[in-house]
Each structure stands twice: as C-alpha cells, then as structure tokens.
C-alpha cells in the first residue's frame, strides 16, 4: 500500500438513505449454503468476513444478531435497531450497493468514523463485501488525526454522520476532505451541523426492491480487511493493516479460550475500531453466529441495565470500573448478573484483590494483553485458576504457529531464566506484516514483532509471563528500576483511590523520582502520607515509594481508553 498525494478539492458528499430496516432479507443470503467449520480446521485462504456472515445467515437467519444500546438517540440518529442475521446481511449488501454507486470498489480504502451503533459494524462488513479496506477512526479523532489518516492510508472516502456532541463535525471534516479531493458519505437525518459544507449531496436509493443482486467480492483471506490505528500514547498513531486471516487467527484464540458459542449474548462497550473491539468482539461474533449488543460509551447506568435486561453472558470492562463495582456490594446486589460467565479486562494491570473478589461472587475475570499489531495473550480460569496469579501473569501462548520470546534490552539476547526483565517479542499468524510507511524497525532480524512491553518469566512456573511495564514507563531512580505498573496496582488497592498513574519526574541528583497522579474514589481524598503508609504496610521497597502526589478529577486518556502518560509527565517536566 503506497502513500497517495492529495488531489484538488471538489469532493462529493453522498447521503446514505434507509439502509437499515427490519424487513427480512430478499437478497439471497438465507439460501447461502452453510459450510461446517469450527474456526480452526478450515483452510485459512477460505475464510473472510463475508464468508463468515454468509455462514451465520445460513445457520441462524431469523435469530437476533445485532442490537443498539437503548440510549442510541442520545448520541446518534434514529431509533435503536435490533437486527436478525438475515437483516444484517441485507443491510450489508444494501450499503455495499450504495458505496459502489458512490464510486468505491475493490482495493479502495474507506475511512469510517461512527460511534458504536449498528451502522459501524455493517459499514465494515459492507467494505469487505466490495473488497474495499475499512479504516475506522475513534469518534474522538478530529481534523488533525483525520488529515494524518488520509495522508498515510491513501483513503479518499469517509463514512460518517452528524452527532449531537459535535455539531460542527460534518463541516470540519469536509474542510479536510476537500484538501484531498475525498468524498464524504453520510447517513441521512439526525442532527444538523452548523456552517454546512461545500460539497454536493447525492441521494442513493438503497431500497431492496430497487437493488440488483450484488455478489460479494471473492476475496482471499490474505487480502487486507482493515487498517487500524495504534493508540498513540507517544507520537503520531501508526496505520496497522490487518488481513482477514490475521483477524481470524486472533478470533480463534478468543473463541477457544473464552469458550464462546452461538448461545452467547455479547455486550461490546469498547469502540469497534481496534483489536479489543474488532478482534475481541466483532470477528468472534461472526465466527460463532452469536448475538452482539452495542454500547457507546461507558454509561454506567445503561451498561448495567443492558447486562441485566439483555441477559448478557460475556462482556469487557476497564479495570477502574471493575474495581468500583466490586467495592459497591449494595449496587451489585441490585443488578442481575446471573447470566454473566466472564468479563475480560485489560489495557492496564489488574488488581489481584479485584479479580479474587469477582471470583468469590462466581464470576470469572479474564486478564487480556494485546495490541493492534497482533500480540495477544489471555489469562483465564482455565489456564490460571488462581485469581491473584491471573491478575499478574499470562501463560505462554500455545496457539498454532505463535511464538514468543523475551530478550534483554541492551544485547537482545534471549532470556530463559526467571526474574530478568526483557522485551516481549511476538511472531505468528496473529501478527501484522508492518506499519504503513514502515521502515521495518518494528521487527527484529528473526521476524519477531518488537512489542515495547517489558515482561519477566515467573519464578515458580516457567510457562508464566508477568507484565512489568511499557519500556518507556520504567522509572530509573538512582540506578534502580521501578515498575510503574507494580506500584499502581498496590496504590489502587487503597479504598480512597479510584484510579492512579505512576510516572517519573526529573531530579538533579537521582535522575528520576517516583510520583503518582490519583483520582479519588470518594470525598475522602488520599494524601501522600496515607499512600506511602499503605505501601509500606505491603513491604514495598523504599526506593519504589512515591515522593510526590497530585490529585486529578480524571486521568488523560487516548480515544481507546489508555492513559496518556506523556501528558502527565509534561505536568512535572520542570
């Protein structure tokens, strides 16, 4: 994939009308022959998003497949949708016809910026139907990120819609699109944008009766399906192309280890724009022909209501939310969570007391480590039964073809003994082939992806890996390495702390000292003295104790929820 130069302004804006209805499919999907498979035995080159959708329709045509959050009207146009598998397929083909009429064809890169509503997964699948490449952007991205994404990916089309939280969204996006001669495709209706746009609006008829049959593009599993964007905790986000086969390899590990099946009712509160949403939710949903309920964003009342009302069996949640809930027994006792088998969490180290507390309530917390690039590990009850160990360790992956190793940070020699810090490196079918505009330095000479994450082998079990920190998050105090993640986990166990982030601040004598930013859990605000005594009671080494504490109302996060430590370091840079 090569970088394209911007072309002259003059983009068209296409309005997508009436793509989503509650009528049964009349486009032939229900008659598609089902291919028996278990997610692992089928030859890799035969499996794509489109074949998975066809199989799901063949097996479960009239079953509920996809549903909006009940508060959809708070953040998007139209009433909440509940679609069967045949209705999903019909909507995908309808939208694919509209995209084709707008000039999109095989190999085109199509940007998508939508919240978690049914239009988002259907847009991704419609691109696959045409053989186009979907590149979804987080809804928090603005003109700066959109401009960079169009430049790097070569995308010349944007699927979007007006939203109440950003009344100028369409006008602002159009300014960027005009710089590239790119077209805007919007879903009709909803909230008006002030200022308007300079583009021409084209109506597209997507009623089933007016549509000719649109056969799906016969893609190879080795074709690029999506371009996701790294979380961007440092520097500009990088484009991560992923093929159908890469997504299927990732999904296979999820389905197998999480024991997902057609009866599952999956609640997705993470944006369908990256590994967590697409690899952890969207593709497993297709593979198992289960039911996917969308949520946007984390609205606690709505989220808990969906768990209860929709009889959710599996979901994901960030660590601070799980910490808060397990501490609030009164709240938990009023929520029907009897159907929930597992909740996956990650993006930050889990607190052992939290994982153990949920297990005492009969609910399994799965510890997940992963990246858009394809490095992925799951710590489940099945492979790490002890909840306190599960919060801290990941079993060495045993997925077919996947290899991991630890190497020293200076000499890059492989580490086999326990307790030695090293960078985790990944190789195998889940791992991408390189960033857009890559110079190849993301891989070592043996083809292993350099994750930038610091792990060590466990002392008592040579098959367990312990996450220590991001390479850039190691604090070096007077020559001693301090893991920010380790200290964060201990501080978070204090009742007055809702969440925290440990970062270095400069010191002329020691080089760096340990500081912590804290969000209070209640009106009782933690002090540095209280936190230090709490850590001393847990026998933490004195050089790891924080020497500075600052209270914040919230920690800065990037669009996919990870804490942006660079912004915190900047507060203490001098």
CATH number of the domain that residue 450 is part of? 3.40.50.12780
CA distance 39 to 345: 24
Residue 107 included in any domain:
yes
pLDDT (0 to 100) of residue 18: 46
pLDDT (0 to 100) of residue 280: 96
Whole-angstrom CA distances from 440 to 181, 312, 361, 445, 501 are: 30, 42, 47, 10, 32
Give the number of domains in the chain. 3
Domain shared by 435 and 482, yes or no: no
Taking a C-beta distance cutoff of 8 angstroms, is the pair 572, 506 a contact?
A: yes
| 3 state SS for 495-541 | CCEEEEEEEEEEECCCEEEEEEEEEECCCCCCCHHHHHHHHHHCCCC
Residue after which a domain boundary falls, among 418, 448, 470 = 470
Residue 36 included in any domain:
yes
205 band by pLDDT with thresholds 50, 70 and 90:
very low
Each residue's pLDDT tens digit, 523-555: 899 999 999 999 999 878 787 899 999 999 999
Domain shared by 485 and 435, yes or no: no
Whole-angstrom CA distances from 165 to 168, 193, 298, 523 are: 9, 11, 15, 30
Mean pLDDT throughout 203-232?
A: 70
Domain shared by 47 and 145, yes or no: yes
Mean pLDDT throughout 488-508?
A: 91
17 band by pLDDT with thresholds 50, 70 and 90:
low
500 band by pLDDT with thresholds 50, 70 and 90:
very high
pLDDT (0 to 100) of residue 574: 60
How many other C-beta atoms lie within 10 A of the C-beta of residue 338? 9
Residue after which a domain boundary falls, among 470, 489, 520 = 470
Domain shared by 352 and 457, yes or no: yes
Q: Which domain holds residue 565?
A: 478-571
Residue after which a domain boundary falls, among 180, 211, 244 = 244
476 band by pLDDT with thresholds 50, 70 and 90:
confident
Domain shared by 458 and 496, yes or no: no
Query: How high does pLDDT run on average in the chain?
Result: 84
Domain shared by 454 and 482, yes or no: no
Domain shared by 533 and 438, yes or no: no
pLDDT (0 to 100) of residue 12: 56
Q: Walk across the sheet containing 497-507 and list its strands.
A: 497-507, 511-520, 548-551
Mean pLDDT throughout 168-184?
A: 92
Q: What percent of the chain has pLDDT over 70?
A: 84
Q: Look at residue 204 and tell me whether its pLDDT is greater than 90.
A: no
Q: Which residues contact 369 (CB under 8 A, 6 or more apart)?
A: 346, 375, 376, 377, 378, 394, 453, 467
Mean pLDDT throughout 278-299?
A: 96
pLDDT (0 to 100) of residue 5: 34
Domain shared by 232 and 373, yes or no: no
Each residue's pLDDT tens digit, 376-399: 999 999 999 999 999 999 999 988
Each residue's pLDDT tens digit, 84-94: 999 999 889 88
pLDDT (0 to 100) of residue 346: 85
Domain shared by 228 and 322, yes or no: no
pLDDT (0 to 100) of residue 26: 32
pLDDT (0 to 100) of residue 297: 80
Tell me how long the chain is.
574
Q: What percent of the chain has pLDDT over 90?
A: 59
Domain shared by 71 and 200, yes or no: yes
Each residue's pLDDT tens digit, 323-378: 889 999 899 999 999 999 999 998 777 889 999 999 999 999 999 998 899 999 99
pLDDT (0 to 100) of residue 566: 82
Mean pLDDT throughout 271-277?
A: 93
pLDDT (0 to 100) of residue 187: 85
CA distance 8 to 412: 48
pLDDT (0 to 100) of residue 14: 65
Better-scored residue on pLDDT, 563 or 232 = 563
Q: Look at residue 157 and tell me whether its pLDDT is greater than 80.
A: yes
Pick from 33-37, 192-196, 477-481, 568-572 the range whose average pLDDT is largest: 568-572
Domain shared by 429 and 486, yes or no: no
Residue 233 included in any domain:
yes
Q: Look at residue 419 and tell me whether its pLDDT is greater than 50.
A: yes
**Domain holding 540: CATH number?**
3.30.300.30
CA distance 196 to 174: 9
What is the pTM (predicted TM-score) of this model? 0.81
């Amino acid at each position: 994939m090569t970088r394209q130069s911007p072309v002259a302004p003059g983009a068209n804006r296409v309005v997508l009308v009436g793509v989503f209805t509650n009528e049964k499919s009349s486009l032939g999907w229900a008659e598609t022959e089902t291919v028996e498979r278990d997610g692992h035995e089928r030859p890799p080159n035969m499996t794509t998003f489109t074949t998975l959708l066809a199989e799901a329709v063949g097996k479960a045509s009239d079953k509920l497949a996809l549903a909006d959050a009940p508060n959809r009207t708070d953040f998007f146009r139209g009433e909440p949708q509940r679609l069967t598998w045949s209705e999903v397929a019909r909507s995908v083909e309808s939208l694919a016809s509209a995209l084709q009429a707008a000039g999109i064809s095989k190999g085109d890169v199509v940007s998508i910026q939508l919240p978690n509503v049914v239009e988002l997964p259907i847009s991704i699948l419609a691109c696959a139907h045409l053989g186009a490449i979907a590149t979804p952007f987080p809804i928090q991205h603005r003109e700066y990120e959109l401009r960079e994404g169009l430049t790097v990916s070569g995308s010349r089309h944007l699927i979007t819609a007006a939203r109440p939280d950003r009344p100028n969204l369409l006008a602002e996006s159009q300014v960027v699109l005009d710089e590239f001669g790119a077209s805007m495709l919007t879903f009709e209706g909803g909230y008006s944008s002030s200022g308007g746009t300079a583009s021409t609006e084209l109506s597209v008829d997507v009623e089933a009766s007016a549509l000719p049959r649109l056969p799906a593009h016969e893609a190879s599993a080795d074709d690029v399906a999506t371009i996701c964007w790294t979380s961007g905790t440092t520097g500009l986000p990088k484009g991560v192309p992923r093929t159908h086969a890469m997504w299927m390899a990732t999904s296979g590990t999820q389905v197998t280890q999480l024991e997902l099946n057609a009866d599952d009712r999956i609640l997705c509160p993470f944006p369908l724009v990256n590994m967590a949403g697409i690899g952890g939710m969207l593709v497993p949903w297709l593979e198992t022909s289960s039911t996917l309920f969308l949520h946007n964003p984390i609205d606690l009342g709505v989220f808990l209501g969906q768990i209860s009302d929709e009889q959710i069996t599996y979901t994901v949640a960030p660590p601070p939310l799980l910490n808060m809930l397990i501490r609030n027994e009164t709240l938990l006792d009023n929520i029907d969570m009897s159907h929930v088998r597992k909740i996956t969490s990650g993006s930050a180290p889990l607190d052992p007391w939290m994982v153990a507390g949920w297990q005492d309530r009969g609910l399994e917390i799965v510890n997940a480590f992963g990246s858009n690039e394809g490095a992925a590990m799951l710590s489940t009850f099945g492979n790490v039964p002890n909840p306190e160990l599960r919060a801290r360790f990941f079993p060495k992956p045993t997925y077919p073809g996947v290899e991991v190793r630890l190497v020293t940070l200076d000499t890059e020699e492989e580490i086999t003994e326990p307790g030695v810090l090293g960078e985790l490196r990944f190789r195998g079918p889940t791992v991408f082939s390189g960033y857009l505009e890559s110079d190849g330095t993301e891989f070592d000479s043996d083809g292993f992806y350099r994750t930038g994450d610091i792990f060590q082998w466990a002392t008592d079990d040579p098959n367990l890996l312990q996450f220590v920190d991001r390479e850039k998050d190691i604090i070096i105090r007077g020559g001693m390495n301090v893991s920010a993640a380790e200290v964060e986990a201990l501080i978070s166990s204090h009742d007055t702390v809702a969440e925290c982030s440990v970062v270095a601040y400069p010191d002329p004598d020691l080089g760096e000292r340990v500081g912590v930013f804290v969000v209070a859990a209640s009106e009782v605000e933690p002090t540095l003295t209280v936190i230090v005594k709490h850590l001393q009671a847990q026998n933490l080494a004195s050089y790891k104790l924080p020497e500075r504490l600052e209270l914040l109302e919230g920690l800065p996060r990037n669009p996919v929820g990870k804490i942006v430590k660079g912004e915190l370091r900047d507060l203490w840079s001098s």
